[in-house]
Structure 1
Amino acid sequence: MASANISYYVHTGAEIPWGNSESSQDTPTAAQTILSAFTVAILVDLFIMIGSYFATPYLFQATESFLEIWVSLLFSPLRRYLRRRKTPLDPETYQQIEIEDYDENHNDSDSVSQLETPQDPPEQKKKRSLLKRVIVIACGLIIVLLSFVRPHNTDYSYLSESLPLAPFSNLEYSPAHERPGSAAPETAPQTPPPPPPPPPPPQYPPQSPPQSVPTNVAGGAPSIPISAPANFSWLENRTALDSFPMFDWLPAYNSSDGLPDWSPFRVNRHNQDDYVYEHYNPLKDPLHFPNLQNDILEPLREVLHNGSVKIKHVILIKLESTRQDVWPFRNTSYIMKHINDSYPKGIPGDVMDRLSKLTPTAERLTGHETGFSGDRPKPYGGFSARNAYTSGTYTLKSLTATICGVNPMAVEANLEYLHDIYQPCLPHIFEALNHQPKITSEATTNQTDEWSSWPWFTMWMQTHSDAWDKHFLLSPALGYQQVMAKRTIDAEGRKYIPKETEEEDEHGHEDKLLKNYLRDVIEDAKKNNTRLFLSHLTHQTHTPYYLPGDYKEMLGDRSNEQRDRLNRYLNAVHYEDESIDQILQLLEDTGIADETLLVMTGDHGLSLPNDGGITAWHSPHVGNFHVPLFFSHPKMPQIDLGDAAILSTQILPTILDLLIETKSIDAQGAKILGDLLPMYEGQSMIRTLIPEKDGKHEWQFSTMNPGGTWFTVRSASKSYRLIVPLKADGKWRFTDVGADPFELNPLEDHQLMFLSDAVQKNHGPEAVKWLAEAAHVAHWWVKENHRRWKFDPKNPNNDPPKDDA
């Protein structure tokens, strides 16, 4: 276990969470992450065994001396006491030895008379050095004393527990707020044992909430031991759950044609006789800042309203493990430090030329300058964000957040598909449009805008496996009509897959092969008069950054593992740039480029150049959260949103807003989208954003891979970040990415009060005030997050009640 701990830390920059090791039994592929360091573990284990071979005699002697001294100290008084109480032997009880039994030839020196008093053993064999005794006894007493005087919390217990017992500790959900001096979030309200089946629900949804609906949520946040002039009463006893929304376009109550979130209506039981219909209501959300009342950004307003921009199709691409500073790759990227260090005599010209042309497609789509010399590509058109964060550094949670416009569950692993996704996802919305009476694929006129009433076809597309953590079950839960993954490609005959080696097949079919399948989907849509919503997840940039063929030189001295991985990663980034360029070319070749909205963002980043981490697993570094995010359309001007704080949950409302404003939807569809748009938490990116209002911040939350150990908080108006622990052994972490963009000097502590002292010393009272508010807001948010997802820690898989019969 020691070799596993050391090797995994060296390999990934993270520590194995032994307390969560039981979760891998349900998903065998989860073990791949641990086994990725198997070779390193063997080497570390070999070094440990060699070292132990030579150290064992000395450790044995030291342990023996330690035990002998303490046994002698503790039991010598008892031994002397027992000797004093023992009755002396009577010499008269011994009989004289008969003379004939005496052997004259016997050596008297070899025998001792039975009546002689035994001689004590040599004194030097029992004596111990007085100094040694003092040292051993003092060390032992110090250890015992410290075990009593140390603070009684789980932090020190975790650090002092024996490694072989680690997998059996901390198995249950253990919020950090239970520790003294902490203010981390609590779990959702405890759910009582399932009651007997209640009577059937009413045939029609209520127009108002039942009387049993609580106006306030029981229980408030515990007090935070930070002195700050702030009032948090506006958060206490608040919830965004409210009565169900009613729209005239919703299907009948018992119909299966409606949105999964609303038909049939989800039920929360407060007692076995009453039904409560609850749904997220942004008007009740104390953290929600709507911006739909604001004007559209000036450079976009005219082209959106004059008919120049038409959106018949939407393609959403999630870029796997893509850092913001590599898409496009800039000369200010932190990776450039490693590149410069790898060439002591300067970067060769051919390598610099290769780096300057690493991501021309990304440079074209975002319009961002890279800082390298040379001709810049013509901007594609659209708007991009420089300060965008993912809603979750776990890929599957990031997908749910982007596609559904919701914050993912603050619990470990992909459980969202088992619960009620509390807002309609984009495929759900497009499917709801398909059920409107005027939606048809029949082309009756030659009007150029007749496609606004065509039905939508939604499809999830990837060329690698979707077996990880039951991804294949998540895609249908998000509403996609069809799913394409490696398993479906192989089952359907591998139509466009060339002959692959065993290693290539193991890593999944390469991303560039997607264009052939994408062409078939586009041609079918043109033939069948359907509109497309397609989503694609890349994978070549995922560890181990595998590519078919050879890798080009991006770094010089690659003798250490981190530089070798960076070289592979940059090659993978260049490959993905070429893959995206092929998709753009396909849109041109099929004639749909001018009517397709292209949305791209990273599922999460990668802290490889910062701390050596090869995944975002349990990594709080900002490099894992900061991702590229942009909307592209050839008829839009190129707009840079600058340093405005963006979260990936804002993608869905922005897409809906664009469809409405460009009149790319018929009248009934525009009404539906207009009703839905205000229901979402995120602000629309095509309007003036609101980072702060009435002295309150616009807060943004991101779960950290795998979801149930930490989450992050930031506000749109400040550059501070706070990492909030959900486990008792987790640390709080504070950084200011404005002053320290690479987080070279983070402040960490197991106790929030001690972290506050460090923040006061290093960043001043303003940062302390922000920290206090962020901790309160985080505490409220995670409880609210569990309420919205109807998550019960005692029933994480949302299993139905067992029938007692």
Structure 2
Amino acid sequence: MAASSQISFYNATGGEIRWDAAKSVGNSRQGMMLILSGLGPTIAAATVMLVVSVLLAAWIYPLMTKWMCSVFSKWLHVPEEQLPGADNSRAPSSAVRTWTIRAAIITLLLWIIRPAVPFNHISGALPFVMFTGAASHSVKPQPGAASPFPFPELLEEIYWEPSDGHYKGWNPGATDPSELPAWASEYLPPGFERWKDPHGNRAARNSYDPTSDPLRITNLNQGLLAPLEEALKERDIPITHIVMVMMESGRQDMFPFKAGSRVHEHILEAWESSSKKPQEDLDEILSQLTPIAEVLTGQPSGFNSSAEVASQKFGGINIQGVTTGSTLSSKARIVDYCGVQALPVDFMAEMDTSSYQPCLMQVLELFNQLKQKQNDGKDPRERLWNTIYAQSVTGQFKAQDKLITKLGFKQSLYSEDIDKTESKYYHKMEKINYFGYAEEEIRPYLKDMIRDTIDNNQRLFLSHFTSTTHHPWGVPSKFTKKEYIPHSEAFSKHEKLDAYLNTIRYVDNWLGQFMDLLDEEGIANETLTVFVGDHGQAFDEDSRMTGTYQNGHISNFAVPLTLHHPLLPRIQTVANATTVSILPTILDLLTSTKSLNEDDTEISLDLANQYEGQSLIRPYVNSHHGREAWKFAIINAGGTMLSIGSAAAPYRLILPLTMDFEFQFTHTELDFYEEEPIVEWDIESLTGLVQEKYGDEAAEWASRAQMVGVWWVKERMRLWDFHPKDFT
């Protein structure tokens, strides 16, 4: 059954099962249902293997019997003529025995002298691999010292920068502890541990210090984007409330869906090669895929809805070029909410330690603590913040509910809450997948939570996670599906993408309802709404492998990021950044729009200078004094591969963190869809091929990225106080 599981998993995703990861996923009911979604192909593969084995048994059994008896007849003292199957055509036992011994010796020698990579992985026998995966690999976090940066010449004193106001400077190698800010005290919320140290943050061995981070580049000394700066001179743009909508499997090229995109080309090719014809005008039905996303981003789809979108009087900053910090949803949450980079280990080891930076909810709690009492509401900047997390699916899968509480949310809503018969709006609901319900089921609960926050004279931070676009891409039965790609033929490779496109349309429609909800409650004109994808989603049309699991294809990384506010100017900008920049950008927007009181403004200005990410409402700095703005993304499930890019170079490297995977290099300008990646098992061979194809500069970058990536992994272990004893 294990072999058939391997075969069906490979057929479905193009990858291999890691049994330790399978054990972790199967620990919950929802995870087990996810695994069982592949039961049909597994049973089919097992049936084929069983039938083939029965047919071959009658031939293999006598052959193996003859060979075994020939090899061991000398020690069993059995006369050769009495051996099973003895006949004149059979080679003498001594000859068989001699060649068997020779083959064994040659195999042993080859096993000794062969390189560990990749042969140890290739020759792993299934039972041993399973037993290894079944064993526990949990390691208690251990403290560790900082690793030396691989390019010390970039840290020389000639590049050091003095402090300037809220900017603390940059001076790696200096030994003087940084001063604590005036707002620091021993009563700070969780997440602020390093500010509680009276000796300054450098004294804490495992804390983050922006003044000594070799990779940190700030752009807070740059002016705001010109249209935003002009708009702030003309009018107030109040941000009383903040809403963050994180979209499951949210691909950048689907927000909005555009004519001429890669997926659009696949759709046209599929219809051209099919004997079927679309039941409706194809351009018309494609134009209705993401009309709400067009309005929110200000980007026309290029179909017949473009003129309508151009006339919409909405504002916001749409940022293109952003990639996720992790293709595992829970780790992506940590990156987005906390402005940190997650642990490069499988699944959520972050639950056993603490974030090395305060999350946004904890920052808002600090603002609350500094207010002596609730005010009369005349000045919204003096109100307390209420932090809420809401999703229509389970919170128990991989302990998401515990993570959300740990990150600082005060209220939460999951499918378990609306499943109770005593729930306020309980009714018989239709499950659309093994995780829970469609988003519309929580609409009345969202309305109540928003209204209660307003009635209590509070400021709202609401984070909502959409999940319908998750596998298996189910929609409510009342939702009318469209056939975007012909897939009536058996085993069509387009069936999954077509299902995904239907969920994209469903979620787009839901986002329209969600924005209407803010308008109904009278807070739309004072609410900043952040739309971001947690990660992308690869399909057969994109790459050999599908899904995000152990898949480094670019379609899993490019995500939409839009900062929507009706009073913001329409801005289209490009930043080759990751979602680690979301938190400092929000802090920058709050202070730039004067949406905080005096005390909170000072804290926000201090904290914005403490995070690794740059602000996305200012020109993005790609490099500074030879230092590149590196981009790191952890690949699902976390501990096997790392995606490395740079805002200063058009290249991308997939760095294996175990010996089971290969290095992969792509030139992102010449091979944007990664159709011809360079793949090798060691960095030396890879850089050699890169040099042949793209030249010295690309080869040097690949080598540099590998060294920076190894350092980055060790540095995350240090910052998270997580050091497995077998990590080198």
Q: TM-score, structure 2 length as denominator?
A: 0.87
**Per-residue Cα deviation, 1:367-411 (whole angstroms, up to 9, x for no partner):** 223232343414521111221100011101000110011001111
Match of 1:413 in 2: 347
Deviation string, structure 1 residues 479-528 (Cα, Å, up to 9, x no partner): 11111111222347343354224x44854221023332222222223322
8 Å contact from structure 2 (residues 184, 195) kept in 1: no
Indicate the residue corresponding to 2:484 in structure 1. Answer: 554
> Is it true that 1:140 corresponds to 2:103 in the alignment?
yes
CA 1:263/1:487 → structure 2, altered by over 3 Å: closer, same or farther? farther
**Residue 47 (str. 1) matches residue 58 (str. 2):** no
Distance 1:764 1:169, change over 3 A: farther
CA separation of 1:758 and 1:169: change in aligned 2, threshold 3 A: farther
Residue 292 of structure 1, aligned match among 197, 207, 220: 220
Q: Once the two structures are superposed, what CA deviation does each residue of 1:240-271 show, in whole Å capped at 9, x if it has no partner?
A: 999575122223x2x3x534332894899xxx
Amino acid at match of 1:434: N
Query: 614-623 or 120-129, which moves further after superposition?
Result: 120-129
1:168 aligns with 2:131: yes
**Residues 409 and 785 of structure 1 are in contact (CA less than 8 Å); yes or no, is this contact kept in structure 2?**
yes
Q: State yes or no: 1:246 paired with 2:203.
A: no
Give the whole-Å Cα distance in 2 for the aligned partners of 1:691 and 1:476: 35
Partners of 2:413 and 2:285 in 1: CA distance: 34
**Cα contact 1:409–1:416 (8 A) shared by 2:** yes
- 2:498 aligned to 544, 552, 567, which one? 567
Query: Post-superposition shift, 1:617?
Result: 1.6
The answer to whether the aligner puts 1:750 opposite 2:681 as a matched pair is: yes
Instruction: Give the letter for the 1:621 counterpart.
Output: H
> Offset of 1:771 from its aligned partner?
0.4
Q: Aligned residue for 1:97?
A: none
CA 1:504 to 1:686, structure 2 compared with 1: closer, same or farther past 3 Å? closer
* Shift, 1:60, TM fit: 2.9
Q: How many Å apart are 1:415 and its aligned residue?
A: 2.4
- In the alignment, what sits opposite 1:485? 414
Q: 1:752 is matched by which residue type in structure 2?
A: I
Classify the secondary structure of the residue corresponding to 2:594: coil
Give 1:427's aligned residue: 361
State whether residues 5 and 16 of structure 1, in contact with CA within 8 Å, keep that contact through their aligned partners in structure 2.
yes
Give SS of 1:371's match.
coil
Q: Distance in 2 between matches of 1:739 and 1:575?
A: 34
Q: Deviations over 1:254-303 (max 9, x none)?
A: x3x534332894899xxxxxx84653111100100011000111111121
1: CA distance, partners of 2:721 / 2:694? 39
Partner residue, 1:195: none
Separation (CA, whole Å) in 2 of partners of 1:751 and 1:381: 48
Judge conservation of contact 1:243–1:278 (CA < 8 Å) in 2.
no
Counterpart of 2:451, as a letter, is: E
Q: Report which of the two structures shows the higher radius of gyration computed on alpha carbons.
A: 1
For 1:339, the aligned partner's letter is I
Compared with structure 1, are the counterparts of its residues 693 and 277 closer, same or farther at alpha carbon in structure 2 (3 Å cutoff)?
closer
The one of 398, 404, 423 aligned to 1:475: 404
Q: Partner of 1:463 in structure 2?
A: 392
Trace 1:11-50 onto structure 2 (pairs within 5 A): 11-24=12-25, 26-27=27-28, 29-50=30-51
Write out per-residue CA displacement over residues 142-161 of structure 1, whole angstroms, 9 at most, x where no aligned residue. Answer: 95276246424153122112
1:624 aligned to 2:549? Answer: no
Change (3 A) 1:148 1:555: closer
Relative to 1, partners in 2 of residues 1:638 and 1:681: Cα closer, same or farther, differing over 3 Å?
same
Alpha-carbon shift at residue 628 of structure 1 (Å): 0.8
CA distance in 2, matches of 1:385, 1:440: 36
Contact between 2:387 and 2:411, CA under 8 Å: does it hold in 1?
yes
Give the equivalent residue in structure 2 for 1:114. Answer: none
**2:441 is aligned with what amino acid?**
L
- Asked if the contact 1:338–1:563 (Cα under 8 Å) also holds between the matched residues in 2, the reply is no
- Determine if contact 1:314/1:598 at 8 Å carries over to the other structure: yes
* Corresponding position of 1:779: 710
- In the alignment, is the contact (CA less than 8 A) between 2:389 and 2:412 conserved in 1? yes
Q: Contact conserved, 2:141 with 2:724, CA < 8 A, in 1?
A: no
Deviation, structure 1 residue 707: 1.1
Q: Distance in 2 between matches of 1:41 and 1:139?
A: 39
2:441 to 509, 513, 519: 513
Map residues 95-494 of structure 1 onto 2, 5 A cutoff: 125=88, 127-128=90-91, 140=103, 144=107, 147-148=110-111, 150-153=113-116, 155-169=118-132, 217=146, 233-234=153-154, 243=177, 246-251=180-185, 253=186, 255=187, 257-262=188-193, 265=196, 276=204, 279-343=207-271, 344=273, 349-374=280-305, 375-377=307-309, 378-379=311-312, 380-437=314-371, 440-443=374-377, 445=378, 450-491=379-420, 493-494=422-423
Distance 1:26 1:45 in 2: 24
| Segment drifting more, 340-349 vs 469-478 | 340-349
1:20, 1:171 within 8 Å by CA — same for their partners in 2? no
CA distance in 1 between partners of 2:337 and 2:534 (Å): 11
Structure 1 residue runs without a partner (length 5+): 84-117, 175-186, 193-213, 222-230, 269-274, 797-805
Q: Tell me, yes or no, if the aligned pair for 2:248 and 2:469 is still in contact at 8 Å.
A: yes
Q: So what's the TM-score if we normalise by structure 1?
A: 0.79
Task: Give the secondary structure class of the aligned counterpart of 2:211.
Answer: helix
Tell me, yes or no, if the aligned pair for 2:69 and 2:83 is still in contact at 8 Å.
no
Partner of 2:559, secondary structure, is strand
- Match among 686, 691, 716 for residue 760 of structure 1: 691
- Residues 284-333 of structure 1 show CA distances to partners (whole Å, capped at 9, x for unaligned) of 00100011000111111121344331111100000001111111112233
Query: What SS class does the counterpart of residue 697 from structure 2 fall into?
Result: helix
Letter in 2 for 1:302: E
Give the Å deviation of 1:727.
1.7
Unaligned runs of 5+ in 2: 157-170
Identity across matched positions, percent:
31
Contact between 1:393 and 1:704, CA under 8 Å: does it hold in 2? yes
1:196 is matched with which residue? none
Letter aligned with residue 344 of structure 2: A
Q: Distance in 2 between matches of 1:722 and 1:548?
A: 40
Q: How large is the RMSD of aligned CA atoms in angstroms?
A: 3.6
2:578 paired with 1:647: yes
2:635 is the counterpart of 1:704: yes
Judged with a 3 Å threshold, the aligned counterparts in structure 2 of structure 1 residues 528 and 315 are, in CA distance, closer, same or farther, namely: same
Task: Report the Cα distance in structure 1 between the residues aligned to 2:250 and 2:152, rounded to whole angstroms.
Answer: 37
Return the alpha-carbon distance in structure 1 between the equivalents of residues 85 and 342 of structure 2. Answer: 75
Q: What is the CA–CA distance in structure 1 between the aligned matches of 2:136 and 2:712, rounded to whole Å?
A: 17
Amino acid corresponding to residue 615 of structure 1 in structure 2: G
| 2:570 is the counterpart of 1:638 | yes
> How far apart are 1:636 and its partner, in Å?
1.4
Query: 1: distance between equivalents of 2:538 and 2:69?
Result: 51
> CA–CA distance in 2 between the matches of 1:338 and 1:500?
35
In 2: Cα distance, 1:622 partner to 1:489 partner: 37
Cα contact 2:206–2:720 (8 A) shared by 1: no
Contact 2:388–2:411 (CA under 8 A) maintained in structure 1: yes
Whether contact under 8 Å (1:240, 1:285) holds in the other structure is no
2:160 aligns with none
Q: CA deviation at 1:456?
A: 0.8
For the residue of structure 2 that corresponds to 1:290, the secondary structure is coil
CA 1:36–1:125: 2 relative to 1, 3 Å? same
Q: Secondary structure at the match of 1:474?
A: helix
Closer, same or farther: CA 496–663 of 1 in aligned 2, 3 Å: same
Distance across 2 between alignment mates of 1:141 and 1:551: 60
Worse overlay, 141-150 or 778-787: 141-150
What SS does structure 1 have at the residue aligned with 2:550? Answer: coil
Aligned residues: 698
AA matched with 2:32: A
1:657 equivalent in structure 2: 588
- What is the rounded CA distance, in whole Å, between the counterparts of 2:502 and 2:45 in structure 1? 30
Q: Deviations over 1:397-429 (max 9, x none)?
A: 000110011001111112223211111111111
- 2:451 matched residue in structure 1: 523
SS at match of 1:515: helix
Alpha-carbon separation, structure 1, partners of 2:245 and 2:83:
87
